[in-house]
Amino acid sequence: MTQTTITLVVPGMGSDHCAGIIRRTLERMDAVADVGTNIGNHHVTVTLDAAGADAAALQRAVEGAGYDVAAVHDESGGAEEADAEIEEAYLRQASKRLWIAAIPTTLIMILMLPHMFVQPIPGYLAIVAILAFPVVFLYGGAATHKASWRSITNRNANMDVLISMVTLTKYLIGLVGFVYPMTSFIEMAATIMTFHLLGRLLEAKAKGRASQAIRRLLTLGAKTARVERDGEEVEVPTKALQPGDVMIIRPGDKVPTDGEVVDGESHVDESIATGESIPVYKSTGDSVIGATINKEGRLRVRATRVGGDTFLSQVIRLVEQAQGSRVPIQEFADRMTGRFVPVVILISVGSLIAWLLFADNLRPILEWGATFLPWVNPDAATPVLAILAAISVLVIACPCALGLATPTALMVGSGLGAERGVLIRSGEAIQTFKDVKVMVLDKTGTITRGEPKLTEVVPAAGVDEHDLLLLAAAVENASEHPIARAIVDGARERGVQPGEVTGFRSTGARGVSGNVGGVHVLIGNRRLLQEDGVSGLEALDDALGDLEARGRTAVLVAADGRAHGIVAVADTIKDESVAAIRGMHDLGLHVVMITGDNERAARAVAAEVGIDEVQAGVLPEGKVDAIRTLQARFGNHVAMVGDGINDAPALKQANVGIAIGAGADVAIEAADVTLVRGELTGVVEAMRLSKATFRKIAENLLWASAYNVAAIPIAALGLLHPMIGVIAMTASSLSVIGNSLLLKRVRLST
């Protein structure tokens, strides 16, 4: 069945508690197949069956749950700039509401102090009631009460419900003072609403800092591009680019979109994509990434990917996916927050009743508290004490801190990873990664470079190394075989230019021959040279055996019927592989290499880099079984790193799949983690990041839970002033966000 995806922008979705209410509301709709929420960008992504509800029905449902919908986006995308404008407008509106509430509340505080401690002010209650009215009922509190009403009528209860109950009851009870002498609560109503609005604004700004990685990514791309049209250069918006357009990129310009160099050469700063600060040389045929910076030369680049298909767009999607994902430990927090508000209301009502019935038994607690808490008044009337206790419970109990615990840590952690070229796709991978015991590595393209390279040149006695390379490179230059290209490239790197060859002949897998400067040259395996009657091969036996034992592909070179020496090629080890595997050992990992290569070559590579266990000769379909075997041995704590299409099934089978960013798209799609730089050291960084992120999530949940467990009983006993409670409530949410921001100090590299 065909499905469609619609994204709603809900600025008021400020915590995972709010997101849970919205999710449950939408999931009750028959047409909804899946609901995803991301409090970082305030997106609610809804997957609908083809014959299901439309966007208008979704919007009505979300608004019915108590949350305004600022915008609706379909699958066409391109709404990033609109979302940024919506967020800015939301912040401006939150700031305006705060100021409108703060000015009258400040005036109330200024009047309250002399009224209480110096001289009663005539008409004080009427003045305070008038000043507090717009704060509690109009522009300051109207949005809160509106959201509360919609939430209650939709059988949900969010934080707005608690604030509405507190401020409305305090204001209305305070009006009793006009007919019956009693303590005024109107000042508290205005103050609590103002602090609530302040907390909302501060949380929005703090979450903006937590999710700033997305904003930075969105601003990286070029806005316009110079393209060739009818023989002329014209400037067009980047959004108007089409695959095949030829772009002109001058020194200092950003590359508008992903493409391939068709003319020119330059160095390109790819640090935004790879984290590597050294510019990379680019020439004809090389690929370039959108948003990278051309340093000095003029390049003509053919656009290959545009819009949502570009590398930058894929990175943004991965980061948003990680930020909006759910960690398994969050299920515990969800169950708590889902029942939190009703339980708090019951405790509040219970406190009210308990104080009304058992005030004499509870007053000794207040007398003890009054010795060190200046706001505690044990001599107050029983109804006043009952109301204060009930209201204090309502304002101190905040599910927002619990709701922010996981998503803010994910926002910061995934953003930090993106900046370092480590893209973690899901929150589940973060929780699973920390328990990994076994790291499985593919050999080719992961530990090694994935392409042969000339490694050794061994001349026979009396033969000059330069002459040996000159003959070998001249003949191999006529071949397109990868080993031949490695020999030729290696010779050029050593300053040897291949000469002309005549009479070139290939004998398939056995070798090649040709004439170079009147000398007949034969290159191939030992059997080929023996059949041709070449002499002097015995002198090279030891060297040949040593090279083959070290996993080299060694070919013999003969000139005019006599052995001239050996040239050896191998898939060379990446520079960072040894350090990366050492880092894995430091993390306590058992490192296993699974490869389709032969046993000898595999063990040679393993010995060079420090692999603990080798499984060689494993076919692509056998890698999945190998992963399952390791999972049975070590439990479900196996991660795998791979880069090829043949690695995709095994990456899916592993508990955590890690794709090298330079590898195949299908491998990247199958993985939980992508290493953009294509360096194995990124595995160590990714694991350290996952451990640090999960540790922050656990710390946040522990702090938020401990805060509520400790604060609610204190409030119920009458020891906590409501205004102190609302400050503590805001501080708890900000402390969770602040703790998450400390992730930016984590050192990922060694």
* Residues known to be catalytic: 442
Neighbours of 557 (CB within 10 A): 29
Whole-angstrom Cα distance, residue 113 to residue 128? Answer: 12
Q: Indicate the SS3 state at residue 8.
A: strand
Q: Is there a contact between 414 and 559 (Cβ–Cβ < 8 Å)?
A: no
The total number of residues shown for the chain amounts to: 750
The 3 state secondary structure assigned to 182-226 is CCCCHHHHHHHHHHHHHHHHHHHHHHHHHCHHHHHHHHHCCCEEE
List the beta bridge partners of residue 237: 224
Q: Is there a contact between 225 and 235 (Cβ–Cβ < 8 Å)?
A: yes
Question: Token pair of 238, please?
Answer: 């980047």
List the beta bridge partners of residue 302: 246, 260
Rounded (10°) CA dihedral 190, 193, 198, 203: 170
Q: Is there a contact between 211 and 87 (Cβ–Cβ < 8 Å)?
A: no
Angle at 533 (CA atoms; ends 528, 537), nearest 5 degrees: 75
Tell me whether residue 611 is exposed, middle or buried, using C-beta atoms within 10 angstroms of its C-beta: 0 to 12, 13 to 18, 19 or more.
buried
Q: List the one residue out of 203, 224, 197, 221 whose CA is nearest residue 103.
A: 197
List the beta bridge partners of residue 566: 458, 556
Q: Is there a contact between 188 and 170 (Cβ–Cβ < 8 Å)?
A: yes
Q: Is there a contact between 460 and 540 (Cβ–Cβ < 8 Å)?
A: yes
Strands (E), 29-178: 32-38, 43-49, 71-73
Q: Is 344 left (phi over 0), alpha (psi -120 to 50) or beta?
A: alpha
Whole-angstrom Cα distance, residue 581 to residue 583? Answer: 5
Whole-angstrom Cα distance, residue 84 to residue 448? Answer: 43
List the beta bridge partners of residue 258: 305
Query: Angle at which helices 400-419 and 681-716 pack, to 10 degrees?
Result: 160
Question: Token pair of 724, please?
Answer: 């102190």
Question: Token pair of 710, please?
Answer: 């400790």
Which one-letter amino acid corresponds to residue 70?
A: A
